[in-house]
Amino acid sequence: MKKFIIAIMVMIIGACAVLIARENVALSFDPKIMPRKNANLPIEGSFIVDKYVYVGSSQVDGNSLKGETAFFSRDAAYFGREVCNNPTYKSRVVEADSYLWDTYKVRAVSLGIKQKELQVITISSEEKFFDEYIKLEDNHLLKGYGGVLIFLKKESGDNKTIAKYDIAEENSKLIVSNSEKELKSKSGVLLGLKYKDKETAQYGYRTLWISYVNGSFNKVIEMPDLLVPRQTGFWRMGVVYDEYRKSYKLWAFPYVRAYPTVAPVQSDLRPRITDDINIRFAGNDYICVEESISNTESKNNKMEYKILPIDKLEANGEDIVKIFGKEADSALKKSGEIFARRTYGDVEYNTSLGLIRRSGRWVLRGRVLPSSSKALPYVDFDIPYAPPRTFTAYDDLYPPFNIIKQEVPDALDAFTSPNRDFVVVVTNSKLLLKPIVGNNLGDTVMKIDLMEEETVIMSQWSLGRYVEDWAKWAAFFEK
């Protein structure tokens, strides 16, 4: 009897333990017991436009933006009628005056901003760009919108913490210096193009002058050869084929203005004579060429990259370390060894470095070539190193290339004005000139036909008063 009672008690205790365990398990998986704690977003809540500032020519009615609402949360972000679902917020800290001048050509003091540093917040979804805001303080944002800077104030019942920015109330328009207005309202680019002549099968070169002044495109001017702006003035450059000597001549010389036209400067500059050569990139002081290696039997497979100073085209090529630094040289050697061993095995090889254009940016490109006379193909590969500003000067793209591809699916390349007022979109057969309206591309205003296998090898930008000066030079050389 005693054993029976003990057995019953054990069973009861065991049943209770199971019930308690089940309850605890159920509770442990209940999301209400352990709520997820998320980090704060860099911007969150509802903001309303209360001021706007013109920083250049614009087709946007700033007054119509007043009262527009922007909202930010983990689920969505929107401004006006533009909505981004499941947004991702990324922030970076920038130096205030430099960023505002580089991006909008306006000084921080002109906007009443006294902060030395600003937080720039980029919003995207599935790696697709949506919008960008500048965080001034917890309760104020700044946003560029088609030639207008708009101030947004957080909607809150406590207005004591709202910062005051010293901007004239009259029309909420900023009175900036005339030079700043001119700089922001005028943009121009010299686009250098390389094409293949159908009759001779040789490469040819031409330059297009494209300008955008006070919200409108001017007439596009076409010039033969490459017109290169330099600190010493404008230079003209090209390649000609000598049928008698069966060789190519790469030439360049400066020009001076001799009213009412221009004239070449007498100099001792010597051209570069070679078996085969073509230009892949043209900057202010250096060019990248693709040139045949001397004394080789299979010339078509023996083309290497070379970086040449414009002032001394006959030079043997610039030292990579001198121009790009040790890191780029090391990256070239390491990547070159990998690709060479994979392609040629134990065959000796040479490496060279050049610049090419791809998907909206200039990139460093390495090449390995077998040293032997065997007709082995060369191998090209990317170098994970950004070209220095001394080469590319301005090379920022806005909107990002993936956004441009959404608007123009057959886009191969694109160039954006430093003023972010227009974009040149490159397709296989045309150049499309589009204004930038807010964060979006406007309708195509002009189309320019491209020749067979024509690519862009130069982009040189000018702003403000320099646009008129460059336009005059372009007119001198116009076909």
The predicted structure's pLDDT at residue 183:
73
Residues 419-448: tens digit of each pLDDT: 889 999 999 999 999 999 877 899 999 999
Please tell me the predicted confidence (pLDDT) of residue 345.
82
Residues 70-97 have a mean pLDDT of 87
pLDDT higher than 80, residue 208? yes
| Residue whose entry in the numeric block shows the structure tokens 């600190």 | 231
Strand partners, 282: 287
With contact defined as beta carbons under 8 Å apart, do 427 and 413 qualify?
A: no
Residue 88 has pLDDT above 80, yes or no: yes
Give the confidence band of 177 by pLDDT, cuts at 50, 70, 90: low
Q: pLDDT tier at 318 (50, 70, 90 boundaries)?
A: confident
What is the C-alpha separation between 425 and 403, in angstroms, rounded? Answer: 12
- pLDDT score, position 190: 97
What is residue 457's predicted lDDT score, i.e. its pLDDT? Answer: 97
What is the bridge-based pairing of β-strands 247-258 and 226-230?
A: unpaired
User: What pLDDT, on a 0 to 100 scale, did the predictor assign at position 224?
Assistant: 94
Count of CB atoms situated within 10 Å of the CB of 140 = 20
Q: What is the mean pLDDT of residues 125-137?
A: 82
Structure tokens at 473: 């030079």
Lowest-confidence range among 22-31, 87-96, 108-117, 304-313? Answer: 22-31
User: How confident is the model at residue 329, as a pLDDT?
Assistant: 85
Residue 139 in this model has a pLDDT that exceeds 70: yes
Phi, psi of 25 (to 5 degrees): -60, -45
Q: What percent of the chain has pLDDT over 90?
A: 30
Domain boundaries defined on the chain: 45-157+168-176, 184-229+393-479, 232-283+285-384
Q: What pLDDT is stored for residue 163 in this prediction?
A: 41
pLDDT tens for residues 263-313?
677 666 788 999 999 999 999 999 999 998 764 444 445 889 999 999 889
Position 94 scores a pLDDT of 87
Answer yes or no: are the C-beta atoms of 236 and 227 closer than 8 Å. yes
The yes-or-no verdict on residue 235 having pLDDT over 60 is: yes
pLDDT band at 58 (very low <50, low <70, confident <90, very high): low
For residues 168 and 175, the answer to whether their CB atoms sit within 8 Å is yes
Q: Is the peptide bond preceding residue 387 cis, with omega within 30 degrees of 0?
A: no
> CA-based angle 474:475:479, to the nearest 5?
90
Distance CA 210, CA 222 (A): 9
Give the per-residue pLDDT at 258: 60
Q: Is the pLDDT of residue 10 over 60?
A: no
Let me know: does 46 contact 69? Beta carbons within 8 Å: yes
pLDDT, position 287: 94
Give the predicted TM-score (pTM) of the model: 0.65
**Average model confidence (pLDDT) for the chain?**
80
SS3 label, residue 231: coil
Highest-scoring range by mean pLDDT, 25-34, 268-277, 380-389: 268-277
- Tens of pLDDT, residue by residue over 326-366, are 888 888 888 888 888 888 888 788 888 999 888 888 988 99
**CB 86 within 8 Å of CB 123:** no
Per-residue pLDDT at 98: 80
Instruction: Count CA within 13 A, CB hemisphere, residue 158.
Output: 4
